[in-house]
Amino acid sequence: MIRLKVDPLNPEADSIRKAAEVIKAGGLVAFPTETVYGLGADALNPRAVEGIFRAKRRPMDNPLIVHIADFEQLEEVAKDISESVMEIAQKVWPGPLTLVLKKRDVVPPETTGGLDTVAVRMPAHPIALQLIRESELPIAAPSANLATRPSPTTADHVEEDLDGSVDVILDGGETFFGVESTVINVTTTPPVLLRPGPFTVEELRNLFGDVILPKEVVEAKESAMALAPGMKYKHYAPTKPLYIVEKNSIFSDVVNLFRQRRKAVALCSAETCADLAPPKIVMGTKENLYTVAKNLFKSFRELDSMDGDIGVMESFPERGIGLAIMNRAKKASAHRVISSLEDVERYANDLS
């Protein structure tokens, strides 16, 4: 494995060229996007795409997102794109919004999980865009982590999970948003939100008008069929049990009750953490939930590295970026949600 340090604002041509040659040859390159690090391969090469699934230990029916650098590549991989959807794409790309569209035959079933649709986005990160341009190929790229693990927001996270399974890591520092892109299915009318992300529901409705929010998305439940990544299988989880406290008014009491039985680590905002004794992880601030999103997966990995048995996490309002935060947190916790102090005793007994 080669790890190359790259300036995220002015990517060095030599480093990008080396990585692009690996993509062209059917290899795997981990690279930063504005959301998380992706594990990239030639989206049109079935064998190369299979390498992604092997490296991640990811089920083959879990579709990948195809990353493009221009609208010519969009036309190459997708078809039947309405004029209104194309106009919206031209407004929001590059950016953290993935569109599910009808696929062209050139995109192999390995990339789409056997579906007749393809998830596409144009990332807003200089390294990602330069890699795609230099490769002259659309690049399929899920998050660059082992399946079920928290998504990587630094090159260290990638190396921790995939050392020995990836050819090149382009180290562009920490990613900006910290949670994966928003995914919306625009093959239906009205469009359907498949995965919340940095591009919020409120922003989607300003663009598309009516947008359907399926129950399983709002409740962060696994779907029977995956039209997009993150829908069907366990995701984002630390190795230690994680519990979500639904009511912030009882958060401190819940933490203290757990600590009578277990070595509990509190994951909370700076405001809430200020009144709690260690061990604790400050995730960000309530005033700016984008700071919580940026640190979410890093916090889950930090939990695993700390001297503690379990994590107890504060809830955040499920609007704006908060919907994406809680979607990931609920899945990471396997829906261990605490709504009353009585729940603590039940969960503590389960851990005994």
272 has binding-site annotation: no
Q: For 134-184, what is the HEC assignment?
A: HHCCCEECCECCCCCCCCCCCHHHHHHHHCCCCCEEEECCCCCCCCCCEEE
78 with 181, same domain: the answer is yes
Q: Say what the pLDDT of residue 227 is.
A: 61
Q: Are 28 and 78 contacting, i.e. CB atoms less than 8 angstroms apart?
A: no
> Bridge-partner residues for 41, per DSSP?
140
Q: Are 48 and 112 contacting, i.e. CB atoms less than 8 angstroms apart?
A: no
In the chain, DSSP finds a helix count (H) and a strand count (E) of 14, 16
**Pairing verdict, β 2-5 and 168-171:** parallel
Mean pLDDT by 10 residues, the chain (352 residues): 95 97 98 98 98 93 95 98 97 98 98 97 98 98 94 97 96 97 97 96 96 89 59 72 95 95 96 96 97 98 95 96 96 93 82 60
125 has binding-site annotation: no
The total number of structural domains in the chain stands at: 2
Q: Say what the pLDDT of residue 237 is.
A: 86
215 with 256, same domain: the answer is no
Report whether the peptide linkage leading into residue 214 is cis, meaning its omega lies within 30 degrees of zero: no
117 has binding-site annotation: yes
285 with 146, same domain: the answer is no
26 with 132, same domain: the answer is yes
- List, in order, residues 6 or more apart from 222 with CB less than 8 Å away: 216, 231, 232, 233, 234, 331
175 has binding-site annotation: no
- List, in order, residues 6 or more apart from 29 with CB less than 8 Å away: 19, 22, 23, 39, 40, 41, 131, 166, 167, 168, 169, 170
51 with 170, same domain: the answer is yes
193 with 294, same domain: the answer is no
Place of tokens 């995956």: 226
Q: Say what the pLDDT of residue 31 is.
A: 98
37 has binding-site annotation: no
141 has binding-site annotation: yes
17 with 97, same domain: the answer is yes
Q: Say what the pLDDT of residue 236 is.
A: 80
Q: Say what the pLDDT of residue 347 is.
A: 83
d(Cα 202, Cα 34) in Å, to the nearest integer? Answer: 20
Q: Identify whether 296 is part of a domain.
A: yes
61 with 168, same domain: the answer is yes
**What does the DSSP 8-state code read for residue 194?**
E
67 has binding-site annotation: yes
CATH, residue 129: 3.90.870.10
348 has binding-site annotation: no
279 with 170, same domain: the answer is no
Q: Identify whether 237 is part of a domain.
A: no
Question: The domain containing residue 338 runs over which residues?
Answer: 242-350
Segment (H or E) for 333:
none
